[in-house]
Structure 1
Amino acid sequence: MTGEASRFAFRFDPLFRPALALIGVRPATAWVDVDRAELVVRFGPWRLRTARRNVVGVAPTGPYRWWRAIGTRVSLSDAGVTFASSTASGLCLRFAEPVPAVLPGSWVRHPGATLTVADPDALARALSAPHGD
């Protein structure tokens, strides 16, 4: 991260906390950081890192069905990645250039990411604010 970052916590539905903890996803290991230059997502053992300028769209999404959202998922229809700890709501990010996130290395890339942060509106505002290049 470069410069002062804003951190956004994931929303954790109490029902799913134990199962998520088994795969290493807990409030202490799941967050989104945004600064003037970068977006960094940590969801337990998974990471997504990209330049802010690569985020070309944000849209609110949800609610979700738990069996289609909770945990880390890759969409079969568009290869987008989901990092979800709640069924309530989230934010879908679209990237100009697909990014790696789920598998080691960079050969699998995702054109978008859905994140179930506690305050999706605040994350959307942070990503819409002017950024450095």
Structure 2
Amino acid sequence: MKRTLLTLVAPATLLLAGCSSGESADMAAPSSTPVAATTTESVTATVDPSEETTSIYEVSENGVTTAVNAPITASSEELAQWCSEAKMALEMYGFDDAESFLAIAQLEVEDSTENVTFESDGSWASNTPSEQAGFIASVNAAANGEC
């Protein structure tokens, strides 16, 4: 979206700079040549600041983030550990699907007294999109019996 905004602003800036010679309007020489009137279109763009971050998230009908379209930077060892932990948690809670566990993992302390996260020192929202993507991949793998 920022690239689109720059594409619209740059030509307008050049046009305005080219029309401004630094001389006052009183100094312009009169012209006897007829000039056709021209119209210009004004383009207004609005940017929602949360648009870029929310566009990487896929959310289910129940409001659960089920995918984060970000590169996973965790090592294969970390992913295997998260998968094992997710498998144990799925069994402990009696869940047979990833979304149910993801719903619990995404709760904040205000939502539940049992805030479940894949790292004990942070909530779902405090993790980076890359960490969230790795966690979701691990939970999906555990739910599919892939670890």
Higher helix share: 2
Classify the TM-score, shorter chain. Answer: under 0.3
TM-score by length of 1: 0.26
TM-score by length of 2: 0.24
